[in-house]
Amino acid sequence: MGMLHSRAFEYKSIKDEQQEKAFWVNIVGTVVIVGVSIFCPPAG
Amino acid sitting at position 27: I
Q: What is the mean pLDDT of residues 6-11?
A: 59
4 to 1, 20, 43: CA distances (angstroms)? 5, 19, 51
**5 lies in a domain?**
no
**9 lies in a domain?**
no
**2 lies in a domain?**
no
Which residue did the predictor score with more confidence, 12 or 6? 12
**3 lies in a domain?**
no
Angle at 35 between CA 29 and CA 37, to 5 degrees: 100
**29 lies in a domain?**
yes
Q: How many domains does the chain have?
A: 1
Mean of pLDDT over the chain: 80
Structural domain including 31 reads: 14-44
Q: Is the pLDDT of residue 4 over 60?
A: no
Quote the pLDDT of residue 2.
Answer: 47
**30 lies in a domain?**
yes
Give Cα 18 distance to the centre of its chain: 10
Residues 9-24 have pLDDT tens digits of: 567 788 888 999 999 9
